[in-house]
Amino acid sequence: MAVIETRLAHQVHRAATKLLADAAVRPSVPLGALAQLRDFLVANLRHHHETEDNDLWPRIIAAAPAMENGLDTLSEEHERLDAALDLLAEVDLSGDEAEDGAGEAADTRLGGGDAAEDLRAELRRAAVAVRDTVHDHLAHEEPVLFPALRDHLSPAEWQDFAQRVIATTPTVAGHLMIGFLDKAGTPAEVELVLEGLPQPVRPLLPAMRLQATDDLRILRGTDS
C-alpha cells in the first residue's frame, strides 16, 4: 500500500504540473481554470513534502538510521521546490478575469491581447519551473523512497501516516485530486487509496468526478 499510494501521488504531481505548464498559454483556457489548478498544485505540493519532511522521514530514520543523509538531501530539494512554488503562487491571477469568463473575454478585460499574453507567459515560466523541479525531484526520490517504504515501514506505520495525511490534506479544488488519481492508477488502486477518505466524503465522489472531468477537459483544451 505504501508504494502504491506514494506512486499514485507522484503520478498526480507529474500530470498536474505538466498540465498547468501546457495550459497556461492556451487562450481558450479561462484564467479562472488556471488559477484553480495553480492553487491546487501549490497547496498539495507543499502539503506533500511537508508531511514527508516532518512525519514520514522521521519514521523511516527511526527504523533505518543510515537513511538519514539520503533523506536530508531530498529535503534540500524540497526547499528548492518551495522557492519555485513561491514564484508560481505570486503570479496574479486574481480579479474578475480569473473569476469568470473564458479565453477571449478574459483577455479583453485584461486590457488587450498583449497584457493577456504577458500574464500567460509569466504563468507559463513559473509553471515550467515547478514542473521541471517536481519531475527531477521525483526521479531522485523514488529510487530512495520506494525501497525504504517496502523495507523499513510497517503496514501499521504507513496506515497511521496515511491517515494523518488525509486528515490534513488541503481542500483547495479537491475534486481535481480525484480526477488526476483516476488517470494515474487502475480502478482497483484508486479505490484502495480512496478507502481512507472520511465516510461523509465518499457519497460526494460521483459529483467530484463529474466536476473534475469537466474542469480537466477545459484545461486540456478539449472542451466542446
In this predicted structure, the answer to whether residue 107 has a pLDDT above a threshold of 70 is: no
pLDDT band at 113 (very low <50, low <70, confident <90, very high): low
Q: pLDDT over 90 for what percent of the chain? A: 82
Predicted confidence (pLDDT) per residue in 59-91, tens digit: 999 999 999 999 999 999 999 999 999 999 999
Burial 123-145 (b: 16+ CB within 10 A, else e): bbebbbbbbebbeebbeebeeeb
Cα-based distances in Å from 12 to 6, 47, 134, 156, 180: 10, 14, 11, 24, 6
What is the structure's pLDDT at 95? 55
Range with lowest mean pLDDT among 21-25, 103-107, 162-166: 103-107
111 sits in the region (left: phi over 0; alpha: psi -120 to 50; else beta) called: left
Q: With 0.95 as the threshold, say if the pTM is over it.
A: no
pLDDT band at 94 (very low <50, low <70, confident <90, very high): confident
CA distance 177 to 11: 11
Mean pLDDT, residues 42-47 taken together = 97
What is the structure's pLDDT at 221? 87
Predicted confidence (pLDDT) per residue in 170-209, tens digit: 999 999 999 999 999 999 999 998 988 888 889 999 999 9
Predicted confidence (pLDDT) per residue in 22-36, tens digit: 999 999 999 999 999
- Cell numbers at 76, concatenated: 534540500
Range with lowest mean pLDDT among 114-118, 120-124, 128-132: 114-118
